[in-house]
């Protein structure tokens, strides 16, 4: 399925995808070629698990390269808005959980850049959707798989 829809990326997200693509093309391709060459040197490849593993990894890497190239062709860099008053793509939002009192901080990014381990949430996620367009002091209830979370927006950068 070809998706020609524009892909919004932050500058950091774009650079991260470019770096991954470059690594796959310049390092991983060479590594895989060397593994395949070595596996072939063992002789008959019909029952050679090393050869099969290397070919499978090669297919995965080539697929990822194609995916990254398509993403980068569709990419439009998101310019950080001067409007720090409302939550938008690229905003860093500091929230206070109304129930626990704990503070959390998220960066709102496109789906392609989302990485919960880095506190980067998609604008299409339940929390991202609920925060979008809000401003400091706004309160929001978000339905998530574990129930409903209640937040107060404390800061937007």
pLDDT tens figures, 56-87? 999 999 999 999 999 999 998 876 666 678 99
Ordered by where they begin, the domains of the chain are 7-77 (1.10.287.180), 92-156 (3.10.50.30)
Task: Specify whether the CB–CB gap between 39 and 45 falls below 8 A.
Answer: yes
pLDDT exceeding 90 applies to what percent of the chain? Answer: 70
pLDDT at position 1: 40
Q: d(Cα 144, Cα 141) in Å, to the nearest integer?
A: 10
Beta bridge pairs of residue 148: 143
Task: Specify whether the CB–CB gap between 104 and 93 falls below 8 A.
Answer: no
pLDDT tens digits along 123-147: 999 999 999 999 999 999 999 888 9
pLDDT at position 68: 96
């Amino acid at each position: 399925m070809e998706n020609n829809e524009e892909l919004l990326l932050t500058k950091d997200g774009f650079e991260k995808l470019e770096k991954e693509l470059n690594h796959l093309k310049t390092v991983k391709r060479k590594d895989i070629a060397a593994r395949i060459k070595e596996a072939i040197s063992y002789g008959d490849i019909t029952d050679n698990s090393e050869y099969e593993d290397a070919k499978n990894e090669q297919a995965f890497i080539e697929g990822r390269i194609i995916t990254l190239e398509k993403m980068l062709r569709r990419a439009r860099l998101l310019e950080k808005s001067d409007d720090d008053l409302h939550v938008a793509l690229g905003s860093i939002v500091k929230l206070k959980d109304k129930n626990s009192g704990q503070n959390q901080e998220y960066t709102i990014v496109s789906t392609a850049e989302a990485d919960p381990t880095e506190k980067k949430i998609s604008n299409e996620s339940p929390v991202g959707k609920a925060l979008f367009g809000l401003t400091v002091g706004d309160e929001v209830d978000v339905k998530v798989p574990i129930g409903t979370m209640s937040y107060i927006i404390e800061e937007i950068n």
